[in-house]
Amino acid sequence: MGSNTEKMQTGPSVTLRADRLLFAGFEEADPVVMAVASRWAGGRTPRSAHDDSRASGVNTTREIHLVDVENLLGTPRFSKADVSHLHGLYAHVSQLAGNAHVVVGSSSAQALIAAGLGWPGARQVWLPGTDGADRALLEVAATEQIASRFERVVIGSGDGIFAAAAASLQIAGCAITVVSRAESLSTRLRLAVGDIRFLPRSSTPASALRAA
């Protein structure tokens, strides 16, 4: 364990935090550890045109949003109205730009239809089965040269399955934001990304709240 700490060592606070990550079951070469160590070593989240465009009032940032509606709604069963309501809340919390590329993931044909009707203009992707929405969105992140095409990447999910992709994109120079429900944010994703934003509880459909 001592040798692992020495390799990560960039300062006392970084060493301490790296120890905690390694003890928690993270591998030293894990991109999440690399991203966290970079921030705690005195680095910062990559600056993108998003920062400058906000200051100037003119948004010129290329940004993509990877949105798992099932995770953000807290249920795989929802209506067009549920998605439409989520869309408004998400746009406010994430500071969704008018020219942003939005990809919405689902895991069933029924969810795909409701998401398409409730979030018009978004690109819809889906894969059936367990974690289908996650897998469909991760396929976009892995195969469509996201780091070279976009300065800002917003992940609309609290699932830890996105942590490695988020950390890798951050290391590649993208500014990463996570939008999540507070109760569903994984520790791994929270560690990977510095800019975490929470949806209000009203984003969860009444049907899901009754089932909880």
Residue 30's identity, in one-letter code, is: D
Q: What distance lies between CA 81 and its chain's CA centroid?
A: 23
Mean pLDDT value across residues 162-181: 94
- Tell me how many helices (H) and strands (E) the chain has: 12, 6
d(CA 163, CA 43): 19
Question: Taking all residues of the chain, what is their mean pLDDT, rounded to a whole number?
Answer: 80
| Conformational region of residue 145, where left means phi above 0, alpha means psi within -120 to 50, and beta covers everything else | left
Residue extents of the structural domains in the chain: 2-40, 49-211
**Which residues in 30-63 are b (16+ Cβ under 10 Å) and which e?**
bbbbbbbbbbbeeeebbebbbeebeeeeebebbb
- Structure-derived torsion over alpha carbons of residues 119, 123, 128, 132, reported in degrees to the nearest 10: -90
- Rg of the chain over all Cα atoms, to the nearest angstrom: 18
Query: pLDDT digit string (tens) for 114-162?
Result: 999 999 999 999 999 999 999 999 999 999 999 999 999 999 999 999 9
Domain 49-211: give its CATH code. Answer: 3.40.50
Mean pLDDT value across residues 21-26: 48
Residue 188 token pair: 């791994």
The phi, psi pair for 155, rounded to 5°, reads -105, 115
DSSP H/E element including 71: helix 69-73
For the entire predicted model, the pTM comes to 0.75
pLDDT of residue 204: 66
- Least confident range from 30-44, 67-81, 105-119, 194-208: namely 30-44
